Structure 1
């Protein structure tokens, strides 16, 4: 005995009308309109970033001074990097600068963001003052820092003398120049970190904070166990951004120390500049640039991987 299936539609009922299809010409017109806006920017990105990067890879396998025809040397430029003492010294100084600059920028930026996340008078003015150094040109900052930290007539040494302390060499001292560069870079970059942390602090759910306070948690425990976990994605992003900034720092060094004194501030990026544009060893400089790219990519992947293991999905 078979069971009759009920009809899908009642007698006399109409089938639901299907959504009208857009004409074929309209979809093609929309695609052409989108590419008309995105096309020029795509061409610029490909022409100014992707194409030069691919071309630089082929240059890195040659011996070329930019004038004579290039000579193919294979992977010899990369092999010579392991024996180049100047490249190793530049790598050590870049890593030291990065290891000092990145944690300090994160900690100070977070502290400034917490201080600015309050309802006080003129808070907009204070936030603007913090962000202004980031907008200023790094080249202008380097030139200004040369006067501020001058051993003879700089403002910092004048303040030290007024306190009865000995004057320091700062940018003219091989032992102090790199740390002085870190201080100058922090002055210019703290505003960026503070702004992104400030935006993240304002997005922390107030219900979590209020629940912790009701449970008897003090301000420090609320910040440590409620606020900081909510800031982990921002911390991962800021760490990656500041790491790339430190490894690619050039304009500040160029305008303040030119890699000196005694190559104490010669980072990898500045050494690449000297190889490619001063000694005209374009192939060797391109090989070092690609090695720097590989190290930067590796550090970025490690930071993102560690952040995801801790539950911080940011990329």
Structure 2
């Protein structure tokens, strides 16, 4: 009787071990490269967020050892009319400024899409207000809209028209803030849309034109759907920018008159650093963070649903 012995290939397990070691080596290498960014993210984002949540649960005034008060600061918001006014102003600013910036930025980008001789110069002109300091923008706004010596009122006075009271009238003050924020941020929208437009295949537009599609139809049926990811990114970015607006409002109006231009960020600053209610100011900051996070997730789900349907 003969017996046969099955001999396993001597190198059968070796590739698996090498693959495993290679996998761990790649994993460690990847996280080694990410480590500096992760450390900075933890130090400058996660740790301050944790501290804000911790302080929001106390009655901290910045002096002495605070007492733990639980959710009292959050309950206080429900009965704080100034908080709700700031919240309404923030939402109104977002509802008005974000669609306006998107529409204007997209329209200007379409005009600049053609091969202009000085397209780089136009980009720099539109982007310059976004990259300069917000304090500089606010100082320019004060010079433009000052109700005594501002360039707008002086121009209107030269035409025999009485200018609005930009610092005394709530509606006029809100309009001045909106105009300066629009001027400061529409340039970024233009540059982002212009970059996305340059990535669209010209053959698609030429084929649609040969099929008889008008310019409006090409924009509505081809260009705009292809720019959905850019629109999603710009929308989220603009919403975050609105909720983080501080310097322009602080310098131009200080939140006045009568809280007409006060938004959640400036109100949180006033409560935390001027009224010395750090616990309450931190609670407002946490609410702003949660609202922006939920708005981003909600808009992201809408974007994903639209992509799945298409």
- Normalising by structure 2, what TM-score? 0.88
The answer to whether structure 1 residue 45 and structure 2 residue 41 are counterparts is: yes
CA distance in 2, matches of 1:303, 1:23: 41
Confirm or deny: 8 A CA contact 1:63 1:281 kept in the other structure: yes
| More helix as a share of residues | 2
Structure 1 pair 29–226 and aligned structure 2 pair: CA distance change class (3 A): closer
CA distance in 2, matches of 1:277, 1:130: 35
Structure 1 pair 304–41 and aligned structure 2 pair: CA distance change class (3 A): closer
Cα shift at 1:166: 2.4
Residue in 2 aligned with 1:191?
187
Specify which of 128, 144, 151 is matched with residue 148 of structure 1.
Answer: 144
Confirm or deny: 8 A CA contact 1:151 1:157 kept in the other structure: yes
How do residues 205-244 of structure 1 correspond to structure 2 at under 5 angstroms? 205-244=201-240
Structure 1 pair 172–312 and aligned structure 2 pair: CA distance change class (3 A): farther
Specify which of 248, 255, 261 is matched with residue 265 of structure 1.
Answer: 261
| Ranges in structure 1 where 5+ consecutive residues have no aligned partner | 1-14
Structure 1 pair 60–119 and aligned structure 2 pair: CA distance change class (3 A): same
CA distance in 1, matches of 2:31, 2:212: 57
CA distance in 1, matches of 2:197, 2:123: 14
Cα shift at 1:191: 1.0
CA distance in 2, matches of 1:39, 1:137: 30
RMSD (CA atoms)? 2.5
Residue in 1 aligned with 2:161?
165
Residue in 2 aligned with 1:278?
274
The answer to whether structure 1 residue 256 and structure 2 residue 259 are counterparts is: no
CA distance in 1, matches of 2:136, 2:304: 38
| Ranges in structure 2 where 5+ consecutive residues have no aligned partner | 1-10
Q: Across the two proteins, how many residue pairs are aligned to each other?
A: 297
Cα shift at 1:294: 1.6
SS in 1 for 2:171: coil
Per mean C-alpha deviation after superposition, the further-off stretch among 143-152 and 269-278 is 143-152
CA distance in 2, matches of 1:126, 1:40: 36
